[in-house]
Amino acid sequence: MARPKCCRTIGEKPLFRVFRPIGSLGPVLEEIVLTMDELEAIRLADLEGMYQEQAAESMNVSRQTFGRIVQSARHKVAEALVDGLAIRVQGGAVRLAEERTFECAWCRDSWSVPSGVDMPQTCPRCKHAQSLKQE
């Protein structure tokens, strides 16, 4: 019997749940399901550029588990892109992080906001816009 999956921490729920190729014929399209923890792993590793150890800590999993999650996610995304399949984001044993931390690339100030609150548009310290990154 397989071990139950532990609950993984994600920074935020995805804004969009389905991605499909433009120009696909008909309403029926084969889908690949990407779990929310797999999407979070891609976000942390590929979008945010985190090292696996740091990303694993952010998701409250071991580095080895994070490696398996991101490998599975990348395989699914590659398959969808190559074969023209839709991607549906759903499921996974996840919970939202209590807070999200941001850093201003301009002044290097960092601050936290509760989960569910929109990403700030400007740095509260220097008021510089479009230089924020989630840690």
> Among positive and negative, which fits the CA dihedral 65, 66, 67, 70?
positive
Residues 69 and 87 in one domain: yes
**How far apart are the C-alpha atoms of 66 and 70, rounded to whole Å?**
6
Give the residue numbers spanning the domain of 130.
98-135
User: Quick one: CA dihedral 56, 57, 62, 64, positive or negative?
Assistant: positive
Residues 86 and 67 occupy one common structural domain:
yes
Q: Are residues 73 and 107 in the same domain?
A: no
CA–CA separation, 117 and 125 (whole Å): 18
pTM: 0.70
pLDDT for 110 equals 74
For 65-96, the pLDDT digits (tens) are: 999 999 999 999 999 999 889 999 998 777 77
pLDDT score, position 80:
93
**How confident is the prediction for the chain on average, in pLDDT?**
82
Confidence class for position 29, pLDDT limits 50, 70, 90: confident
pLDDT computed for residue 7 by the predictor: 76
Closest CA to 89 of 100, 99, 80: 80
Beta carbons of 59 and 94 less than 8 angstroms apart = no
